[in-house]
Amino acid sequence: ELKVEQNPLFLSMQEGKNYTIYCNYSTTSDRLYWYRQDPGKSLESLFVLLSNGAVKQEGRLMASLDTKARLSTLHITAAVHDLSATYFCAVDIVPGTYKYIFGTGTRLKVLA
């Protein structure tokens, strides 16, 4: 059974600090997606990682993918309060189909 696990599940951090969220998956997928979800809202696409070694950065967030280790990371640099949200990684059940298996989510709270 395909599993996608994130850690930590909860993260409380001070503004200005750095931290990394980890996403491990159990299938041989070369595609991984990161989404952000605010409370009561839908999913906002952050990054699409399409190959081994892919690295993408947007503002204070940087995502990377290591398909051999079946690991993706979402690194937060100098966190600000606006980054408070739940972050999900997702893997295609069948690559390229967008039938996703989502991770458990990481609930991030950035304290002022």
Q: Which is nearer to other proteins, 43 or 62 (CB)?
A: 43
Q: How far is the CB of 43 from other proteins (least distance, A)?
A: 4
Q: Draw the binding track, 59-98, toward other proteins (x: CB under 8 A; -: no contact).
A: -----------------------------x-x--x--xxx
Buried b (16+ CB within 10 A) or exposed e, 39-76: eeeeeeebbebeeeebeeeeeebbbbbebeebebbbeb
Q: Which is nearer to other proteins, 18 or 45 (CB)?
A: 45
Query: According to the binding rule CB under 8 A, does residue 27 interact with other proteins?
Result: no
Sole binder of other proteins in the list 3, 17, 41, 81 (CB under 8 A): 41
